[in-house]
Structure 1
């Protein structure tokens, strides 16, 4: 008991704190921050601080053409940026879209290849012979043109294409070289 007649509790760190009386509101504490190791790492590290002009950072901006988002299977919620050119999909090191979430049906090297066709402003998906691949639930053996929202199934993993570039919008080649 202290001089006022309230009981004191011992707070972490050995300091005494008075117990709240009926007239005092219990102070609210902010929830403890999760340890840094509990936060999942982003699939790609940022190249510049958010909203920083490229001229000030000295880093050439990246140009996203779209994203693949895992919508079903191991790794649901992970996403992968697609940039200009060819993106290799597989579970091994060196793959642009590395599906290393435990789906044993995904080949390590080049299970599928996704290319942005700049002449026609669309994504084209192909796979090597023997690789199992479905587009919107249909088996695909030949190169297939994709549209925004199409779902590619590789093994037991379904990836949804979120296309930024298309007939309606695409990056200027002059802009990309600056």
Structure 2
């Protein structure tokens, strides 16, 4: 295994995969955030943001499953975040999008926590957002590792509330919803 590169801020990263520190981001870019939408890990095109034409196609591949929320809205918007409050990636945030978000160390996962070797590579846990009833849930994964919600073992799906703490491996993640009783994504013509 090749040694990792250390950035000026002390983060370690694989320089064969990244041209600069993925934790720090690229400071000198001038990006129109309205036209740029980050790709989710494991989707075609890698982890790099992709610019989409306004009102254009979302680039769905023939035969590829598209989430109902994305199909309805034409986008797959952020609905909440997980923020690492303890563990190797402390301070980092992870986007939650509609429907099921698989958590693990693999880049194939929707939420990739690569630096915590005590987290299973795939499907350690799942966070879901149901747009029909505007609710979030935490599911245990199908891996060997346990998942805890506010210090209680998760053995069946559990509802998530603002600032709940999810523990997996050596990592603790605080849940921060964006969609709630105060806001919910709608089609532009419905607004």
1:40 to 23, 26, 40: 23
Contact 2:35–2:54 (Cα < 8 Å) also in 1: no
Q: Deviations over 1:133-176 (max 9, x none)?
A: 1001111111001011111001110011110012332112x239
Q: Structure 1's 37 and 68: CA in aligned 2 closer, same or farther, altered over 3 A?
A: same
How far 1:110 sits from its partner (Å)? 0.4
1:129-144 equivalences under 5 Å are: 130-144=144-158
- 2:179 aligned partner: 165
Q: Structure 1's 162 and 58: CA in aligned 2 closer, same or farther, altered over 3 A?
A: same
- 2:42 aligned partner: none
Contact 2:101–2:111 (Cα < 8 Å) also in 1: yes
Q: Flag structure 2 segments of 5+ consecutive residues without an equivalent.
A: 1-7, 10-18, 38-51, 56-74
Farther off after superposition, 115-124 or 88-97:
115-124
SS of equivalent to 1:65: strand
Rounded to whole Å, the distance in 2 between the matches of 1:136 and 1:124 is: 13
Rounded to whole Å, the distance in 2 between the matches of 1:134 and 1:157 is: 11
1:78-89 equivalences under 5 Å are: 78-89=92-103
Rounded to whole Å, the distance in 1 between the matches of 2:36 and 2:125 is: 35
The TM-score, its normalising length taken from structure 2, stands at: 0.61
SS of equivalent to 2:183: coil
- What RMSD in Å do the two structures reach over aligned CA positions? 3.1
- 2:127 aligned partner: 114
Rounded to whole Å, the distance in 1 between the matches of 2:113 and 2:157 is: 21
Aligned length: 136
Work out which of the two has the higher radius of gyration on C-alpha atoms and give 1 or 2: 1
The TM-score, its normalising length taken from structure 1, stands at: 0.65
- 2:53 aligned partner: 58
How far 1:50 sits from its partner (Å)? 3.1
Q: Deviations over 1:64-96 (max 9, x none)?
A: 101111110111011111111211000012101
- 2:165 aligned partner: 151
Q: Flag structure 1 segments of 5+ consecutive residues without an equivalent.
A: 1-33
